[in-house]
Amino acid sequence: MSAKKQVKDFNPAWLRVRASSQPKQKRRATTAPAASPWPLQSQCTAFYGDPRGGKDFNPAWLKANIVHVLCPWPLFFGKTAMPFISIHRKCAASLTRVLNSIYLAVDKDNSKIKALKYDQFSGSIAYRPMRGSTAISMHEFGCAVDFDDADNQFHATKHLFQDDSLIVVKFKAEQWVWGGDWTPGSVDAMHFQASRVR
């Protein structure tokens, strides 16, 4: 069943317009884009610390750095309810702003969240290297989150989330990197990370 059919009076196009229809302010020609608060992937160990402790997470690093961000809407990992998202403490305030901004944009309507598939959480912190590499994954640093992997499969060129999707707009407003912007061989539309590729 499509997202449009799940909620009869719900129009996803309206949300896309609403997310981008804020009054435009005049920009000064000399204003440079704000610098990203997030490190390059190659700088993540220096910025987020080293999560590794051999064959598993370093317990001291976990305790010092991983916190729980409450989601303002019902969130599920498969059929399991997820009351919070585990994330690095340096990303927590930003992730909180993203989630609250999304929820306000849908007028705190859980049926709209469900129709958009934003209630489908696909993970955050995980002890593993990057796919096809021995480098530490952004998920291992606790600076990445995935949503709705069923409709945004890894490397799929057709996916639910698009550049004008509310979730993408709100994460990008906080300067998170969206995997949907990556090259066709690397595209990962479910994925958002608080680290720069370049």
What does the alpha-carbon distance between residue 60 and residue 99 come to, in Å, rounded to a whole number?
28
pLDDT for the residue numbered 38: 98
**Paired tokens of 71:** 């989601």
CA-based nearest residue to 19, from 141, 102, 76: 102
- Count the residues in the chain: 198
pLDDT for the residue numbered 79: 94
Q: Name residues of the chain where pLDDT drops below 70.
A: 1-33, 129, 131-134
What does the alpha-carbon distance between residue 62 and residue 50 come to, in Å, rounded to a whole number?
10
The torsion of the CA quartet 151, 157, 161, 163, rounded to 10 degrees, works out to: 180
CATH of domain 36-193: 3.30.1380
What does the alpha-carbon distance between residue 52 and residue 36 come to, in Å, rounded to a whole number?
26
Phi, psi dihedrals of residue 53, rounded to the nearest 5°: -135, 35
Extents of the domains making up the chain: 36-193
Place of tokens 């403490």: 89
Helix axes 166-173, 12-20, angle to 10 degrees: 20
The DSSP symbol for 147 reads E
Q: Are 22 and 130 in contact (CB under 8 A)?
A: no
Helix locations, 7-117, DSSP H: 12-20, 44-48, 59-65, 89-105, 110-116
- Residue 171: CB atoms within 10 A of its CB come to 25
pLDDT for the residue numbered 128: 74
Query: What's the pTM?
Result: 0.81
What does the alpha-carbon distance between residue 17 and residue 3 come to, in Å, rounded to a whole number?
17
pLDDT for the residue numbered 22: 41
pLDDT for the residue numbered 56: 81
